[in-house]
Amino acid sequence: MMRRAITLILVQFLMFHASGQDGATFEPPVKIPMYLSGNFGEIRSDHFHSGIDIKTQGTTGHHVSSVEKGYVSRIKVQANGYGKSIYISHPNGYTSVYGHLDRYRDDIAAYVKRMQYKQQSHMVDLYLSKETFPMEKGEFIAFSGNSGSSSGPHLHFEIRSSANQHPTNVLSYNFEIKDLVAPRFHSIFLYPMDKNCKINGKTERFSSKIVRDKGIYTIPYSSTVEASGVLGISVEVFDYLDGASNRCGVHTLEMFVDNKLSYSHVMDEFAFSETRYINAHIDYEERIKSGKKAHRLHRLPNDRLRIYNQALENKPLLVDESRNYSIRIVATDVAGNSSTLEFTLKGSEGNNEVPIANEGEVTYMKYNQVNSFEKGPVHLEIPAYSLYQDLDFSFQSSPQADGSLTPFYQIANIEVPVHKAYTLSIKKPDYVRSLNRKLLLISYNDKHEIVSAGGTFQDGYIVAKLRNFGEFAVGLDTIAPRIMPHGSTGGDFSAKKELRFTIEDELSGIAKYEGYIDNQWALFEYDPKNKLLYYSFDEQHISKDSEHELELYVSDEKGNVNLHHTTFNW
């Protein structure tokens, strides 16, 4: 038994060190010292972070260069996501990715613009051959920025395996990023995983802050934990790196029960197709309730992440004896710093009394089967493996409408994560005379504001594919987006570099934007986080010192279009 354990540890050790230490060496992508605001594998919404976020001293415009020789294999421009990004394939089998760029170097920028005009689209996804832009190690490629879904100037940097495009742990290569700080535990959560489970006499979740005592993290002595039955444990733990206060992700997390390893994961690599399993990996209910990002120390049945130790069952804890259970949780970072959380759980046998049946309408749904549900005007179809575990599905209808054409229907619970999209159909009420194509489903955001949940009219129903549960109703969007010019709407722009507009939509959201100058398609760039739409004057496409006509169309997801029409001199 002991020998087997040692062999397993050895195998894991060798597997981990094979990645990143196969001779691949890289140069830093920036010339400034590398301090991180984010690292590989940290918890984000609906995904694990796939690279590192390098701080750029609060400003844009820092030189970004290729970390190894190779060639530009892909250039992607998105309004959201990585914004302006560049991918470089290297002969060592890795691809480096640089995101949220401000602008590409001149020859690359000219190439991208040519393709944008050719495709008549701001957003492009270009795959390039070896010959177009070959790269030397350290060659300048772009200026750092804040484009796409970025909340401040920084460089998003990834190293992927070229063959399968899996992002790998950037910190396991040779970059000079100092980390002498060990991970820190912040809070712990215990929650029932079966109906007989009791924690401190209750069937509710238990949560506690974590304190540090003589170098060991623990639950404060004032709060004891008594439990029986099957329970889950999750911990809020972050790594910190030198020179930054940002919360980063840990590299490994392990739990020992009575000194026996019961759970383990290593964050070295994942596939983009599996990153959404983060909603199974984290304590999703706690995330919704408090916003805290806690790792479960067990694997849910339909969590297919590759990060778990395959030799373990990674099951929730079964407490069925009246004795003390010693729990030890160990977190490490890539640099090898580690922290330990220890506490004693007072176990009891429990009494296995038959729990009181749930009130109201509850349908038991198995996660590995197709589940359908129908009640009055509401129809639901949940594909197999859309849920991470079996669910006591609940349904309720609120008596009143709230800015909606129907009552709000409570579909399961917002604290239950959804993996694959399910289909929700709500019948169009008979009294509604509006245009069918303006109907959509609406829901609430976390500020309890009404937001679009999408959907289209089909055979008397408004049908939407959804990836979360919660409250939904039928709504209507007949209002076109607003287009607000910065400064004057027309006139003399000869000294200006750009035409700028704020664009906004009430409900369904901006779907399309198209600008024409003198009846020719013109490149308008959209920056959703700033609600900004802008055109950079360009002598290659319009002639200088003359009068021009601008037509700008902005439409929403429900086909409501606004046109801004003006003339100007440039």
Residues that bind Zn ion (CB under 5 A): 53, 156
345 CB-near residues (< 8 Å, 6+ apart):
225, 226, 227, 317, 319, 324, 325, 326, 327
Name residue 425's beta-bridge partners.
379, 463
Shortest distance in whole angstroms from residue 307 CB to Zn ion: 19
Shortest distance in whole angstroms from residue 122 CB to Zn ion: 21
Shortest distance in whole angstroms from residue 426 CB to Zn ion: 37
Supply the DSSP symbol for 528: G
Phi/psi for 340 (5° steps) reads -125, 135
Choose between 53 and 556: whose C-beta lies nearer to Zn ion. Answer: 53
Choose between 39 and 234: whose C-beta lies nearer to Zn ion. Answer: 39
Choose between 169 and 404: whose C-beta lies nearer to Zn ion. Answer: 169
Choose between 248 and 341: whose C-beta lies nearer to Zn ion. Answer: 248
Phi/psi for 387 (5° steps) reads -95, 155
Shortest distance in whole angstroms from residue 85 CB to Zn ion: 11
Closest chain position to Zn ion (CB)? 156
Query: Coil, strand, or helix at residue 537?
Result: coil
Shortest distance in whole angstroms from residue 241 CB to Zn ion: 15
Q: What is the dihedral of CA 413, 416, 418, 423, to 10 degrees?
A: -20
Choose between 40 and 206: whose C-beta lies nearer to Zn ion. Answer: 40
Interatomic CA distance for residues 421 and 381, integer angstroms: 9
Phi/psi for 3 (5° steps) reads -60, -40
Shortest distance in whole angstroms from residue 281 CB to Zn ion: 19
Shortest distance in whole angstroms from residue 157 CB to Zn ion: 8
Choose between 53 and 254: whose C-beta lies nearer to Zn ion. Answer: 53
> What letter represents residue 308's amino acid?
Y
DSSP notation for 467-496: EE-EEEEEEE--PPPEEEESS-SSEE-TT-
Give the pair of three-digit tokens for residue 147. 């484009």
Sort strands 362-365 and 391-397 into parallel, antiparallel or unpaired. antiparallel
CB 521 within 8 A of CB 514: yes
Shortest distance in whole angstroms from residue 53 CB to Zn ion: 4
Strands (E), 162-205: 167-168, 184-192, 198-199
Choose between 141 and 507: whose C-beta lies nearer to Zn ion. Answer: 141
Choose between 98 and 526: whose C-beta lies nearer to Zn ion. Answer: 98
